[in-house]
Amino acid sequence: MNFASLTTMTIPEGSVSRILRGAEILWAKPSAGLLPAAYQQVEYIESTGTQYILTDVVNNAAYDALFDMEFTKTGARNLTGHGSTAGYYFGVDANGIYELGGGLVMTGVSGVTRNLITVNSASALKITVNGTSRSRALGNGSPAAFRLLGGWTSLSMTCKAKLYRAQFWRDGSLIRDYVPCYRKSDNVAGLYELVAGVFHTNKGSGSFVVGADVVE
């Protein structure tokens, strides 16, 4: 099927988990309505530069990932990824244009609008946004966990962004599926991970900004 000319497609409920164009994830099954009753799903969580979620996805094996996010800072590099591990990060440069590990810029692709971002970490780090891709060889840093909305720590770079959704896949299987939400009992915001059934809260300082409640 030629997805370049496709405008509408109806997908039977529960029959498809994701649609790919090469390595780029064009669509993935929504997570709405799957949270336990103690949590309220929200449109997004937003970091102001000091908040982040520490995942257990470590760059010691290849993975594919899908991020629905919008970077909100310009005027300085704004990055997220595997902490201080060389090459395993992406974000926007000082002009708000997408870049990946080592300052490779995706000319003409703005990161200060909401986009679906596909990341592949096989032999190289590759990101794809709206059909445009860029790759770079991976560095030799020690394995580290992915920091959602976290900066590149060794260079003291922060991440100011809104995260609407994040998924990680290995060998075609979904291993982590993060949904923005808050815990109703105390209004603490974070990400509920559906595969393991774990609520992750801020590992930095301050509190996440939250978007509107998602109402079914």
pLDDT exceeds cutoff 50 at 4: no
Residues 201 and 31 sit within 8 Å (Cβ to Cβ): no
Instruction: Give the residue with greater pLDDT, 156 vs 185.
Output: 185
Q: Where are the beta strands (DSSP E) in the chain?
A: 18-21, 24-28, 39-41, 45-48, 53-58, 64-71, 78-81, 89-92, 97-100, 104-110, 115-121, 124-129, 132-137, 145-148, 160-170, 173-183, 188-193, 198-201, 209-210
Instruction: Name the token pair of 71.
Output: 């970077």
pLDDT attached to residue 158: 83
Tell whether the model's pLDDT for residue 199 goes beyond 60: yes
Q: Mind listing the pLDDT tens digit for each residue in 100-145? A: 876 788 888 888 999 999 998 877 788 999 888 988 877 666 788 8
- Domains of the chain, earliest start first: 35-210 (2.60.120.200)
Q: Greater confidence, 149 or 94?
A: 149
Q: Which residue has the higher pLDDT, 87 or 190?
A: 190
